[in-house]
Chain A
Amino acid sequence: MWIETTIAMRFLRQGRAQTLLILTGIAVGVSVIVFVVALISGLQANVIERTLGTQSHVRIEAPEEVNLIAPAPPGTLQLLLEDRRAQALRPIVNWQQIRDVLDRLPGVTAVSPVVSGPAFGRRGDAVQSVAIVGMDLPRYLRVIPLDEKMVDGRLDIGSGNAVVGRQLARELGLRTGGKLRLDGGDGRTAIVNVAGIFELGVRDLDSRYVYVDLKQAQSLLDLPGGVTVIDVTVADLFGADRIAARIHGLTGLKAESWMETNAQLMNALSSQSMSTNMISFFVAMSVALGIASVLAVSVTQRTREIGILRAMGTRRRQMLMVFLVQGAVLGIAGSLIGALAGWGLIGIFNTFGPKLFYIPMPPGLVPASMLLVTIAGVISASVPASRAARLDPVEAIRHA
Chain B
Amino acid sequence: MPDPREVLRLEGLRKSYNIGKPNEVEVLHGIDLRVESSDFAALVGPSGSGKSTLLNQIGLLDSPTAGELYLLGQPTREMDDEARTAMRGRHIGFVFQFHHLIGAFTALENVLMPYMVAHGKPDRETLDRARGLLADVGLEKLGDRKPDELSGGQQQRVAIARALVTRPALLLADEPTGNLDTKTAAEVFGLFRRFNAEFGCAVLLVTHDPRLAETCDRTITLVDGRIESVK
Contact = CB atoms under 8 A, between A and B. Distances in A.
Interface in B34-86: 56, 59, 61-62, 81-82, 85-86
Interface stretch (B114-122, B130-138, B217-225): B114-122
Nearest to B120: A2
B118 to A, nearest CB: 5
B105 A308 contact: no
Interface string A1-37: 0110011001101100000000000000000000000
Contact of B85 (A11, A305, A313): A313
A312 B94 contact: yes
Interface of A is mostly: helix
Of residues A14, A308, A314, which shows the largest number of chain B Cβ atoms within 10 Å of its Cβ?
A308
Contact of A309 (B56, B59, B62, B113): B113
Contacts of B100: 304-305, 308, 397
Given A309-B117, A316-B82, A316-B85, A10 B104 contact: yes
A14 B104 contact: yes
Contacts of A305: 100, 102-103
Q: Chain B interface: which size bin?
A: 20 to 34
Nearest to B57: A394
Contacts of B62: 392, 394
Of residues A14, A317, A397, which shows the largest number of chain B Cβ atoms within 10 Å of its Cβ?
A397
Contacts of A11: 104
B96 interface: yes
Nearest to B53: A394
Contacts of B117: 3, 309, 312-315, 318
Interface residues of A, number: 25
B176 interface: no
A238 B169 CA distance: 71
A311 B88 contact: yes
Interface in A300-329: 304-305, 308-318
Given A10-B104, A13-B104, A316-B81, A311 B59 contact: yes
Interface in A306-359: 308-318
A393 B89 CA distance: 13
A312 B82 CA distance: 13
Contacts of A397: 61, 96, 100
B201 to A, nearest CB: 16
Nearest to B105: A10
B116 A311 contact: no
A11 B85 CA distance: 22
B226 interface: no
Nearest to A396: B61
25 contacts: A10-B105, A14-B103, A305-B102, A305-B103, A309-B102, A309-B113, A309-B117, A310-B61, A310-B85, A311-B88, A312-B88, A312-B94, A313-B86, A313-B88, A313-B117, A313-B118, A313-B166, A314-B89, A315-B81, A315-B85, A315-B117, A316-B81, A393-B61, A394-B56, A397-B96
Interface of A: 2-3, 6-7, 10-11, 13-14, 304-305, 308-318, 392-394, 397
